[in-house]
Each structure stands twice: as structure tokens, then as C-alpha cells.
Amino acid sequence: MEYEKKIWDTFRYGDESSFRILFDEYYAPLFNYGYKFTTDNFIIEEALQDLFVKLWKNKSSIDKTGSVKNYLYKAFRRVLLRKLEYTPRLHLFAQSDENIPFNIELGHDDVMIRGENLEETRQRLQQALAALSPRQREIIHLRYFEELDYDEIAVIMQLSVSSAYKLLYRALDSLKGQFNTLEWIAVMYVLSLKK
């Protein structure tokens, strides 16, 4: 982390090789994050290009940062979402962030989770996630996939910490509700089979 901050500082002073290191470090993770919003890789690549060109252009006015990752995720998210809003071929109407999709594709076939009921559990979780709003899914992703805390999530999603807290709380609450009804449906289903 300290090393990364140093790289960030030398980049701000105009060192191109440090800038290249940052790019190489974050290209793949940012692409992966972008792919959750859209499967159109051209738009993601364009957003990444715009982001890095803009960073280079404004390098002298960029501040020190507590976390290079948070800074880049936030800036990339902003560039990508603006693009998705104003791309008519994907969206007929200008949309607010609220409606920009976010897709979580659950993992499978991992040594750690292989088990008897895995496929069933996976489907239940997938259905519960589907009932969430895109932004709720996004915060779940940032929490469990990127392993970020509320402060960091707030920075990236440009929310206040309390709003981030609320958003995650509602997401979890909704998940809970979903699990319960799903469990209920599952129970009914099993019961109906037994009849």
C-alpha cells in the first residue's frame, strides 16, 4: 500500500513509468468491475481510456490519496456511468444511476463451497439478489467481492457514509426477506411433493 502511494506520487509529478505501473495494476480489476454494469466491452475500454488520459492531463492538480484503489474505482465508475447514461443504443431514455444495471454472477465449483446442496443454495441466492435494486446489488458486490468497508464504499459510490450504511442495510434486509419467503416457498413445495 505504501509502495502504491509512492507510485501515485511519482505519477503526479509526471513520471510516465509510474503511470504505466498503475495502469497495469488496475486495468483488469477495473474491467471486471465495469463488466458488472455492462457486457459491452467497447464501452468499458473507452471509459478506461478516457479515465487514464484524463488522469494524465490533470496529474498536476490531483491530490495525494489515502487509497489509490478507492480513487481509481470512484473515478472509473463515474466515467463509465456517464457513458452508460448517454448511450442511446443501449438505453432509449436518459437514465439516472438508479436504473443502470448491475449483475452479479455467483461463483461456482470452488473447492471451498462444493457440497451437496450447493446448486440449490446458489439458485436461492441468485433469486434473492435479482429482487434487489441495481445499486443494492452493487453495494453487496463491493462488500463481499471487493471486501471494502462502509467508508470505502461511500467514496466509490459517492455517497455519505451513513447513506452507504443505509443502502447496505436495506439490501441485507431485503435479502433476508427474500430468503424467508423463498424458504417458505421451498417448504410449501416440499410439502406439496409429499402429498
* In the complex, least distance from residue 41 CB atom to other proteins, rounded to whole angstroms: 4
Pairwise CA distance, residues 21 & 16, whole Å: 9
Secondary element (H or E) of residue 165: helix 161-194
Q: Quick one: 94 or 145, whose CB is closer to other proteins?
A: 145
State which residue, 117 or 192, has the beta carbon closest to other proteins: 117
Interior/surface letters 152-174, b for 16+ CB within 10 angstroms, e for the rest:
bbbbbbebeeeebbebbeebeeb
Cα dist from 105 to 14, 25, 39, 65, 109, whole Å: 39, 23, 12, 31, 13
Report which of 170, 167, 169 is spatially closest to residue 158, judged by C-alpha positions: 167
Three cell numbers, residue 183: 424458504
Name the residue nearer to other proteins (CB basis): 11 or 71.
Answer: 11
Toward other proteins, which CB reaches closer, 6 or 176? Answer: 176
Q: Are 183 and 190 in contact (CB under 8 A)?
A: no
Cα–Cα distance measured from residue 2 to residue 166, given in angstroms and rounded to the nearest whole number: 31
Residues of the shown chain interacting with other proteins in the complex, contacts defined by CB under 8 A: 16, 20, 23-24, 27-28, 31-32, 35, 41, 45, 48-49, 52-53, 56-57, 104-108, 110, 112-113, 115, 118, 121-122, 125, 140-141, 144-145, 147, 165, 168-169, 172, 175-176, 179
Nearer to other proteins, 4 or 146 (CB): 146
Q: Which amino acid is present at 141?
A: H
Shortest distance (Å) from residue 1 CB to other proteins: 16
Shortest approach of other proteins to residue 99 CB, angstroms? 22
Q: Which element (helix H / strand E) includes 60?
A: none
CB of 19 to other proteins, least distance (A): 8
Least Å distance, CB 114 to other proteins, is: 10
Residue 119: CB minimum distance to other proteins, A: 11
Q: Which is nearer to other proteins, 4 or 31 (CB)?
A: 31
